[in-house]
Protein backbone atom coordinates (compact mmCIF):
# COMPACT_ATOMS: atom_id res chain seq x y z
CA UNK A 1 0.00 0.00 0.00
CA UNK A 2 1.28 3.47 -0.88
CA UNK A 3 2.29 5.56 2.14
CA UNK A 4 0.34 8.81 2.63
CA UNK A 5 2.06 12.04 1.62
CA UNK A 6 0.55 13.92 4.56
CA UNK A 7 -1.37 13.00 7.69
CA UNK A 8 -3.32 15.40 9.90
CA UNK A 9 -4.98 14.99 13.30
CA UNK A 10 -6.79 17.81 15.15
CA UNK A 11 -5.80 17.45 18.80
CA UNK A 12 -8.07 20.27 20.01
CA UNK A 13 -9.91 23.21 18.55
CA UNK A 14 -11.91 25.95 20.23
CA UNK A 15 -11.55 28.90 22.57
CA UNK A 16 -10.10 26.64 25.30
CA UNK A 17 -7.17 25.42 23.18
CA UNK A 18 -5.96 24.66 19.67
CA UNK A 19 -3.39 22.25 18.26
CA UNK A 20 -3.06 20.27 15.03
CA UNK A 21 -0.68 17.37 14.40
CA UNK A 22 0.72 17.21 10.86
CA UNK A 23 3.08 14.54 9.55
CA UNK A 24 4.74 13.80 6.23
CA UNK A 25 7.52 11.33 5.56
CA UNK A 26 9.84 11.36 8.57
CA UNK A 27 8.80 14.84 9.72
CA UNK A 28 6.02 15.56 12.23
CA UNK A 29 5.01 18.97 13.58
CA UNK A 30 2.39 20.63 15.72
CA UNK A 31 0.67 23.74 14.45
CA UNK A 32 0.04 25.58 17.74
CA UNK A 33 0.03 24.10 21.22
CA UNK A 34 -2.72 25.93 23.05
CA UNK A 35 -3.39 23.89 26.18
CA UNK A 36 -1.33 22.41 29.01
CA UNK A 37 1.65 20.19 28.31
CA UNK A 38 0.05 17.34 30.29
CA UNK A 39 -3.19 17.58 28.32
CA UNK A 40 -1.38 17.77 25.00
CA UNK A 41 0.66 14.68 25.85
CA UNK A 42 -2.51 12.86 26.87
CA UNK A 43 -4.25 13.67 23.62
CA UNK A 44 -1.26 12.63 21.55
CA UNK A 45 -1.03 9.31 23.40
CA UNK A 46 -4.74 8.73 22.74
CA UNK A 47 -3.94 8.77 19.00
CA UNK A 48 -0.72 6.69 19.40
CA UNK A 49 1.42 9.78 18.80
CA UNK A 50 4.44 10.94 20.80
CA UNK A 51 5.97 14.41 21.40
CA UNK A 52 9.37 12.69 21.22
CA UNK A 53 8.90 12.38 17.46
CA UNK A 54 8.05 16.04 16.82
CA UNK A 55 10.40 18.06 14.64
CA UNK A 56 8.88 21.46 15.48
CA UNK A 57 6.00 23.48 16.86
CA UNK A 58 4.83 26.17 14.44
CA UNK A 59 2.95 29.06 16.06
CA UNK A 60 0.25 31.01 14.20
CA UNK A 61 -0.16 33.84 16.75
CA UNK A 62 0.40 34.68 20.39
CA UNK A 63 -3.05 34.14 21.95
CA UNK A 64 -2.95 31.77 24.92
CA UNK A 65 -5.29 29.24 23.32
CA UNK A 66 -2.61 28.73 20.66
CA UNK A 67 0.68 28.89 22.62
CA UNK A 68 0.04 27.74 26.19
CA UNK A 69 2.25 24.63 25.97
CA UNK A 70 4.62 25.75 23.21
CA UNK A 71 7.45 26.80 25.51
CA UNK A 72 6.89 23.82 27.78
CA UNK A 73 7.14 21.36 24.90
CA UNK A 74 10.23 23.06 23.53
CA UNK A 75 12.04 22.73 26.86
CA UNK A 76 10.76 19.26 27.77
CA UNK A 77 11.42 17.57 24.43
CA UNK A 78 14.08 19.84 22.91
CA UNK A 79 11.72 20.89 20.11
CA UNK A 80 12.40 24.05 18.09
CA UNK A 81 9.69 26.69 17.82
CA UNK A 82 8.92 28.40 14.50
CA UNK A 83 7.17 31.76 14.55
CA UNK A 84 7.46 35.22 13.04
CA UNK A 85 9.24 38.11 14.76
CA UNK A 86 6.21 40.12 15.91
CA UNK A 87 4.56 37.00 17.30
CA UNK A 88 7.76 36.07 19.10
CA UNK A 89 8.00 39.49 20.72
CA UNK A 90 4.34 39.41 21.74
CA UNK A 91 4.55 35.85 23.07
CA UNK A 92 7.93 35.96 24.80
CA UNK A 93 6.58 36.32 28.34
CA UNK A 94 4.09 33.47 27.89
CA UNK A 95 6.62 31.15 26.26
CA UNK A 96 9.33 31.53 28.89
CA UNK A 97 12.94 30.67 28.10
CA UNK A 98 13.21 28.91 24.75
CA UNK A 99 16.61 27.95 23.37
CA UNK A 100 15.52 26.99 19.87
CA UNK A 101 13.61 29.78 18.13
CA UNK A 102 13.41 29.87 14.34
CA UNK A 103 12.01 33.09 12.90
CA UNK A 104 10.28 33.26 9.53
CA UNK A 105 8.42 35.90 7.54
CA UNK A 106 4.93 35.66 6.10
CA UNK A 107 5.11 35.22 2.37
CA UNK A 108 8.41 33.32 2.47
CA UNK A 109 8.40 29.53 2.16
CA UNK A 110 10.57 27.46 4.44
CA UNK A 111 11.30 23.81 5.07
CA UNK A 112 11.00 21.71 8.19
CA UNK A 113 12.48 18.35 7.30
CA UNK A 114 10.42 16.98 4.43
CA UNK A 115 7.59 19.50 4.87
CA UNK A 116 7.30 22.76 2.94
CA UNK A 117 5.54 25.50 4.92
CA UNK A 118 4.11 28.56 3.19
CA UNK A 119 2.87 31.10 5.78
CA UNK A 120 0.53 33.93 4.78
CA UNK A 121 -0.90 36.91 6.63
CA UNK A 122 -4.48 36.89 7.91
CA UNK A 123 -6.72 39.48 9.57
CA UNK A 124 -7.08 38.93 13.33
CA UNK A 125 -6.49 40.95 16.50
CA UNK A 126 -2.97 39.71 17.11
CA UNK A 127 0.51 41.07 16.42
CA UNK A 128 1.17 39.31 13.10
CA UNK A 129 -1.25 36.37 12.74
CA UNK A 130 -0.94 33.85 9.95
CA UNK A 131 -2.39 30.88 8.17
CA UNK A 132 -0.32 28.39 6.23
CA UNK A 133 -0.19 25.66 3.70
CA UNK A 134 1.85 22.52 4.31
CA UNK A 135 3.04 20.43 1.37
CA UNK A 136 4.76 17.08 1.01
CA UNK A 137 4.89 15.06 -2.16
CA UNK A 138 1.69 15.62 -4.08
CA UNK A 139 -0.38 16.58 -1.02
CA UNK A 140 -1.30 20.10 0.10
CA UNK A 141 -2.96 21.03 3.37
CA UNK A 142 -4.37 24.49 4.15
CA UNK A 143 -4.79 25.85 7.70
CA UNK A 144 -6.66 29.10 8.32
CA UNK A 145 -8.28 29.75 11.70
CA UNK A 146 -8.78 32.95 13.72
CA UNK A 147 -9.47 35.25 10.79
CA UNK A 148 -12.10 37.93 10.61
CA UNK A 149 -12.21 38.10 6.83
CA UNK A 150 -11.12 35.80 4.00
CA UNK A 151 -8.97 38.12 1.90
CA UNK A 152 -7.85 37.51 -1.67
CA UNK A 153 -4.44 36.55 -0.26
CA UNK A 154 -6.04 33.86 1.90
CA UNK A 155 -8.01 32.55 -1.08
CA UNK A 156 -4.94 32.51 -3.27
CA UNK A 157 -3.00 30.34 -0.84
CA UNK A 158 -5.82 27.92 0.00
CA UNK A 159 -6.78 27.19 -3.59
CA UNK A 160 -5.77 23.70 -4.72
CA UNK A 161 -5.58 22.08 -1.28
CA UNK A 162 -6.48 18.43 -0.72
CA UNK A 163 -7.63 19.22 2.83
CA UNK A 164 -8.78 22.51 4.34
CA UNK A 165 -8.69 23.11 8.09
CA UNK A 166 -10.74 26.28 8.37
CA UNK A 167 -12.51 28.32 11.00
CA UNK A 168 -16.29 28.16 11.31
CA UNK A 169 -16.52 30.05 14.57
CA UNK A 170 -20.10 31.16 14.99
CA UNK A 171 -23.69 31.11 13.84
CA UNK A 172 -24.72 34.78 13.41
CA UNK A 173 -28.11 34.31 15.07
CA UNK A 174 -26.70 32.44 18.06
CA UNK A 175 -24.02 35.11 18.46
CA UNK A 176 -26.61 37.90 18.41
CA UNK A 177 -28.84 36.30 21.06
CA UNK A 178 -26.00 34.74 23.05
CA UNK A 179 -24.39 35.67 26.37
CA UNK A 180 -21.43 37.68 25.08
CA UNK A 181 -21.38 41.40 25.97
CA UNK A 182 -21.98 43.76 23.05
CA UNK A 183 -18.34 44.79 22.64
CA UNK A 184 -17.26 41.14 22.38
CA UNK A 185 -19.98 40.36 19.83
CA UNK A 186 -18.70 43.29 17.76
CA UNK A 187 -15.12 42.00 18.04
CA UNK A 188 -16.12 38.52 16.88
CA UNK A 189 -18.01 39.93 13.86
CA UNK A 190 -15.27 42.41 12.93
CA UNK A 191 -12.64 42.12 10.20
CA UNK A 192 -10.15 41.17 12.93
CA UNK A 193 -12.41 38.64 14.63
CA UNK A 194 -13.74 35.28 13.45
CA UNK A 195 -15.52 33.75 10.46
CA UNK A 196 -19.14 32.66 10.69
CA UNK A 197 -20.37 29.32 9.34
CA UNK A 198 -21.63 31.05 6.20
CA UNK A 199 -18.37 32.92 5.64
CA UNK A 200 -16.39 29.70 6.07
CA UNK A 201 -18.62 27.94 3.53
CA UNK A 202 -18.22 30.80 1.04
CA UNK A 203 -14.44 30.64 1.42
CA UNK A 204 -14.25 26.87 0.91
CA UNK A 205 -16.57 26.97 -2.10
CA UNK A 206 -14.50 29.74 -3.65
CA UNK A 207 -11.15 27.95 -3.31
CA UNK A 208 -12.26 24.36 -3.93
CA UNK A 209 -10.80 22.47 -6.88
CA UNK A 210 -11.24 18.81 -7.91
CA UNK A 211 -8.30 18.08 -5.57
CA UNK A 212 -10.32 18.92 -2.44
CA UNK A 213 -11.24 15.74 -0.53
CA UNK A 214 -11.61 16.83 3.11
CA UNK A 215 -12.79 19.86 5.08
CA UNK A 216 -12.29 20.13 8.84
CA UNK A 217 -14.25 22.89 10.57
CA UNK A 218 -12.25 24.41 13.40
CA UNK A 219 -12.48 26.90 16.25
CA UNK A 220 -16.23 26.52 16.80
CA UNK A 221 -17.53 28.71 19.61
CA UNK A 222 -19.15 26.65 22.35
CA UNK A 223 -21.46 29.56 23.19
CA UNK A 224 -22.31 30.82 19.71
CA UNK A 225 -22.30 27.75 17.47
CA UNK A 226 -22.94 24.03 17.43
CA UNK A 227 -21.40 21.26 15.29
CA UNK A 228 -24.72 20.40 13.65
CA UNK A 229 -25.24 23.95 12.36
CA UNK A 230 -21.67 24.26 11.09
CA UNK A 231 -21.83 20.89 9.33
CA UNK A 232 -25.18 21.65 7.76
CA UNK A 233 -24.08 24.99 6.33
CA UNK A 234 -20.85 23.57 4.89
CA UNK A 235 -22.28 20.35 3.46
CA UNK A 236 -25.20 22.16 1.82
CA UNK A 237 -22.85 24.73 0.30
CA UNK A 238 -20.43 22.11 -1.05
CA UNK A 239 -23.22 19.79 -2.24
CA UNK A 240 -20.74 17.00 -2.97
CA UNK A 241 -20.66 13.38 -1.75
CA UNK A 242 -16.94 13.27 -2.61
CA UNK A 243 -15.80 15.81 0.01
CA UNK A 244 -15.73 14.65 3.61
CA UNK A 245 -16.69 17.30 6.19
CA UNK A 246 -16.12 16.99 9.92
CA UNK A 247 -15.77 19.17 13.00
CA UNK A 248 -12.65 19.47 15.17
CA UNK A 249 -13.82 19.17 18.77
CA UNK A 250 -12.60 21.02 21.85
CA UNK A 251 -12.81 18.00 24.17
CA UNK A 252 -11.40 15.10 22.11
CA UNK A 253 -8.79 14.64 19.39
CA UNK A 254 -10.16 13.93 15.95
CA UNK A 255 -9.42 11.19 13.47
CA UNK A 256 -6.03 10.88 11.80
CA UNK A 257 -6.65 11.64 8.12
CA UNK A 258 -4.18 10.51 5.46
CA UNK A 259 -3.76 12.36 2.18
Q: How far apart are CA 59 and CA 81, in angstroms?
A: 7
Q: What is the pLDDT of residue 2?
A: 62
Strand boundaries in 62-123, DSSP class E: 81-84, 101-104, 110-112, 115-121
Name, in order, each residue with C-beta under 8 angstroms of 1's C-beta and a sequence gap of 6 or more.
Answer: none
- The confidence score (pLDDT) of residue 104 equals 98
User: Angle at Cα 164 formed by Cα 163 and Cα 166, nearest 5°?
Assistant: 160
User: What is the mean pLDDT, run by run of 10 residues, along the chain of 259 residues?
Assistant: 84 95 96 96 96 97 98 97 98 96 98 98 98 97 97 98 98 97 97 98 98 98 97 98 97 96
pLDDT in tens, 211-248: 999 999 999 999 999 999 999 999 999 999 999 999 99
User: Please, what are the domains in the chain?
Assistant: 7-249 (3.60.15.10)
Containing 123, the helix (H) or strand (E) segment is: none
* 239 CB neighbour count, 10 Å cutoff: 8
Which pLDDT tens digit goes with each residue over 157-169?
Answer: 999 999 999 999 9
pLDDT at 25: 85
C-alpha dist (Å) from residue 37 to 15, 40, 61, 72: 17, 5, 18, 6
Amino acid sequence: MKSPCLSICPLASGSRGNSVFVSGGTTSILVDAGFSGVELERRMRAKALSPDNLSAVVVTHEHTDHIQAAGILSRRYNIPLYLNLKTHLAAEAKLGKVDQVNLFACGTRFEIGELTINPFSISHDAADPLGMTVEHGSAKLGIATDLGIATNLVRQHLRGCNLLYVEANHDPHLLNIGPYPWYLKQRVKSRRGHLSNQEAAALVCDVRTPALAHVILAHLSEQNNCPEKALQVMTEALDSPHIGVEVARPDLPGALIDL
